[in-house]
Structures are given as structure tokens and as C-alpha cells.
Amino acid sequence: MSFEVVATDGAARAGVLATAHGDVPTPAFMPVGTKATVKSVDPDELRALGASIVLGNTYHLHFRPGEDVIAELGGLHAFMGWEGPILTDSGGFQVFSLRDTLLAVDDEAVTFRSVYDGEAERLTPEDAAAIQAALGSDVAMCLDVVLPPSVPRAELEVAVRRTTEWARRQRAAPRAPGQLLFGIAQGAVDPELRRRSTEEIAELDLDGNAIGGLAIGERRDEMFETTAWVAELLPADKPRYFMGIGDPEGIIEVIARGVDMFDCVLPTRTARTGSALTWEGRLNLRNARFARDSRPLDESCTCPACSRFSRAYVRHLVNQQELLGHRLLSLHNLRFLIDLTAGARAAIERGELASFRADALDRLAAGSATKGA
């Protein structure tokens, strides 16, 4: 693994994450392929959109179809037909976010019920490592303890301790050949516990480090403030990954604070609700005002939707529940965020991130204001 510093502008910098299946220029947006597919989008289309890495979900792939099946069929790359790098999460976020299925947590493991059949399952850091090794991803994430905002501080302190210990145990577990391992810092927005977790995870000297436990309900200003000083504590020569952010303004802000990688289901989930991400803000294509609108979704975009079809046509598809409508919006929303990230990367290389950030945020705000007028 290598992470080369190309340029510096403020806290953030452009670099390259080298993996067995290709390099990932950073900052990088990772489309989410929860069940070994980015919903409705073909791998060749992903590559054409400019995606360099995708995320797979360990929890769901473990239960359906099972890591043994995927391994037998050549690993996750062959199984899903994606030749580029893949990052797999540990399954921890799903276990802890599906709180109705959570049975117990102790120092050894977390016990929960599967959302598929209700059977009890116990997940240790060694299990998370073994599942991801069988999947054969390029980057494996450590199992961590993710708590909702505003839990008692005593619970948060235990979660931080377990997150560090579980990362230490997973570091010692076998991996797939060439597989990188990223740790995850927790601590919510508690300054002392977040600092402790960040320093402890960084000291493990893993291949990369993630900022977890944010963008899950805390105030947005707290999230950005925490991200800024946490990023400064993490090694600059290793990727810094913010888990679970995907709105355009949020992506720009975390890049400016030093983040190199991020993921979110927002672009495809938003597409399935009939909405497009644009420089005018989020467009709800179900709205009657688009019925005769001959413009593309976004004038500056060259995705398959914008290069061929009008807002009126996409609205027609969405309102008639035609699958093509959801596909076109997914392609567009992914391209929009990938292009936004590429623009930030180019600005970093030019030493102009601060002006890029200001211009992009002003443009997004002006577009939203015009739309709402």
C-alpha cells in the first residue's frame, strides 16, 4: 500500500491509494454496492462514470449468498464483475444500527439476530477478518462499536475501549493476499474520548484510518468541527476515510478538513425517490413544473441521462415507475458526486482548494435559493 502526497492546500491533499486491483486517486467517492451491486448500475457503467473504487457490505454478503459461495466463485471481484478496487466494511455499523436485532455486546464479540432469518449470530473481530478475507476485498475495515448520539458517556467510553481492542485483535488475524486493513476511530463528539480513540487507532499503524460514528444524528456543525481536528491527529501519509457522507456540501466540507475517502448510499437512494443532485440543488422530478422542461438534469453534466434526455422525459419515467428513470437518475447522481470529487482533487493539485470550496458552496447555495424562489 502506498499513499503519495501530491499537493497540499490547507488540511487536505491529493494522493493515490495503491491496491492490488489498481490505484485510487484521492479524494475519492466510493459508490456503495451493498449486496455486490451498486443498485441498477452495471460495473462498466460505473467505470465510465469515473468510479475508481466501490464499497461492499460484509454483513449482507455474509448472510446472502455467504462468503464461502463468493470465495468458491473466485472472490468478490469476479462475483460482481468489478475489476477495480473494493473496500468492505466490517459489518459493525449494520449490527449496531439495527438495534432491534442487537442482543448483547461484551469484550469478546457482539451478538445479534440476522435480519434475514432471525437466527442469533455472534461476530468477533476475528470473524470480521475471516469473512472479509474470504470475500477478497482490497481494503478490509476493522470491527468497531458504533453507538447512537447522546448515549451515556460511560457507554461511549466502553465502546472506545472495545473498538481499540477489537482493532488490535483484527490486526493479528489472517488477511487475503495483499489486503489492506483500516482502523476506525469512535468517540462521537466527546472531545476527550474522540481524541483517545483517534490516537489509539493511529498508534496501531494500520494501512489507513477512518472517522466513524459521525453523520448519524449529531449537529452538523459539531460533525464538521470534530472532523477537522480529528483529521489533523491522523497520519497524513495514510488515507483518512469519513464513513457515510454523500451530500455535495458535506463532501466539499470534509475534503477541506482533510478527508481522502468517503461513501454514502445517498446518490442511488435519492435516485429511487425520483430526485436528482444538481448545481441547482436537489430536484424532485415528480414535480409538475418539470413536465415540459426540455433542459437536461444539469447543464454542465455529460452523464448518459444529461447527454440524451430531458427533465420532462425523466419525470415521465419516474412518474410511470419505469425502471429506466431510476437508472438514469442513479447514473446522473453518481456522476455528479464523482465529478465534484474530481474537481476538488484537481483544485488541491493546483493549490486552489480554498477557492474551489468557496465557489462550489456559493454555487450550490445560489442554485438552491433560485429553485426555492
Whether 10 shows a pLDDT value over 70: the answer reads: no
Which amino acid belongs to residue 264? Answer: C
Which amino acid belongs to residue 230? Answer: V
pLDDT band at 13 (very low <50, low <70, confident <90, very high): confident
C-alpha cell at 353: 482548494
| Per-residue model confidence as pLDDT tens digits over 214-248 | 999 999 999 999 999 999 999 999 999 999 999 99
Q: How many CB atoms lie within 10 A of CB 366?
A: 13
Taking each helix axis from N to C terminus, what angle separates 220-233 and 248-256, rounded to the nearest 10 degrees?
30
- Provide the whole-model pTM: 0.96
What does the pLDDT read at residue 8?
46
d(CA 339, CA 166): 36
Whether 237 is a known active-site residue: answer: no
Whether 190 is a known active-site residue: answer: no
Which amino acid belongs to residue 335? Answer: R
Whether 5 shows a pLDDT value over 60: the answer reads: no
Angle at 237 between CA 231 and CA 239, to 5 degrees: 60
C-alpha cell at 147: 453507538
pLDDT band at 7 (very low <50, low <70, confident <90, very high): very low
What does the pLDDT read at residue 2?
63
- Please provide residue 36's backbone torsions phi and psi, each rounded to the nearest 5 degrees: 70, 30
Burial letters 280-314, b for 16+ CB under 10 A, else e: bbbbbbeeeebeebeebbbeebebbbbeebbbebb
Which amino acid belongs to residue 195? Answer: R
Whether 373 shows a pLDDT value over 60: the answer reads: no
d(CA 356, CA 340): 10
d(CA 262, CA 283): 23
Length of the chain measured in residues: 373
Domain boundaries, the chain: 7-263, 271-368
| Per-residue model confidence as pLDDT tens digits over 49-106 | 999 999 999 999 999 999 999 999 999 999 999 999 999 999 999 999 999 999 999 9
Q: What is the mean pLDDT of the chain?
A: 95
Instruction: Calculate mean pLDDT across residues 358-363.
Output: 97
| Per-residue model confidence as pLDDT tens digits over 149-181 | 889 999 999 999 999 999 999 999 999 999 999
Q: Which of 9, 89, 144, 260 is catalytic?
A: 89
Q: How many CA atoms lie within 13 A of 246 on its CB side?
A: 22
C-alpha cell at 47: 467505470
Q: How many CA atoms lie within 13 A of 112 on its CB side?
A: 22
Q: Which of 138, 247, 263, 339 is catalytic?
A: 263
Given a contact cutoff of 8 angstroms between Cβ atoms, the answer to whether 90 and 121 are in contact is: no
Whether 352 shows a pLDDT value over 70: the answer reads: yes
| Per-residue model confidence as pLDDT tens digits over 257-268 | 999 999 999 999
- Please provide residue 278's backbone torsions phi and psi, each rounded to the nearest 5 degrees: -145, 170
Enumerate the β-bridge partners of residue 240: 209
pLDDT band at 9 (very low <50, low <70, confident <90, very high): low
Burial letters 246-260, b for 16+ CB under 10 A, else e: bbbebbbbbbbbbbb
| Per-residue model confidence as pLDDT tens digits over 287-318 | 999 999 999 999 999 999 999 999 999 999 99
Whether 121 shows a pLDDT value over 50: the answer reads: yes
Q: Contacts for 31-36 with beta carbons within 8 Å, 24 or more apart? A: 31/55, 31/263, 31/267, 31/268, 31/334, 32/57, 32/263, 32/264, 32/265, 32/268, 33/57, 33/80, 33/82, 33/86, 34/60, 34/265, 35/60, 35/61, 35/64, 36/61, 36/70, 36/76, 36/79, 36/80
In CATH, what number does 7-263 get? 3.20.20.105
What does the pLDDT read at residue 367?
86
What does the pLDDT read at residue 372?
55
Helix (H, G, I), strand (E, B) or coil at 208: strand
